[in-house]
Amino acid sequence: MENDGAVTNPESSQTDCLSANVTLFWRVFIPVFGTVFLAGLTITLLIIPEEDLYLPFPALWLRIAVSLILISWLVFVKRKLWQLKRIDANAQFLYVTNYWQTVRYPWTDVRQIDETKRMGRRIVHFQLLAPGRFGQTISILPADNFDELIEGFVGTKPD
């Protein structure tokens, strides 16, 4: 095997995961499980004849209610859970993935790092200078050692 003369530094190419491991659970498992359950319930209630349901009220009300719950769930998943990404980083780049595609951003493209609480969980938002493949704001569930890692990369703690 021939060396092309490029010098690579193994320490600089090694990445650290800034996201919590539970991100995969919230990003993939919960939406899939919840959608399959609610869609199955909705389809079942729609195909069963009304006289076989034995309800003290018209079956149409239950069918509409469950359909609205399914639609609300899908909107919640799209607007909240699917916004979560996974970020790996080294000294030069952030590697952002939605578990299907991965995009590399240089640290110089990060304008600001903010924190919020959503559903009792800490969420960290990376604000980019310009919109990228995943938008201008990238949200993650931070790893336990996120603060130490981010101080090592950018020298300051998030706001």
pLDDT at 59: 87
pLDDT at 15: 85
Residues of the chain with pLDDT under 70: 1-12, 154-159
pLDDT at 155: 64
pLDDT at 158: 54
Q: Where are the domains of the chain?
A: 23-79, 85-154
Please, what is the Cα angle at 72 between 41 and 63, to 5 degrees? Answer: 40
Q: What is the CATH code for 85-154?
A: 2.30.29.210
Helix boundaries (H) for 48-128: 59-79
Burial status of residue 42 (CB atoms within 10 A of its CB: 0-12, 13-18, 19 or more) = middle
pLDDT at 119: 77
Q: Which of 150, 154, 125 is nearest to 137 (CA)?
A: 125
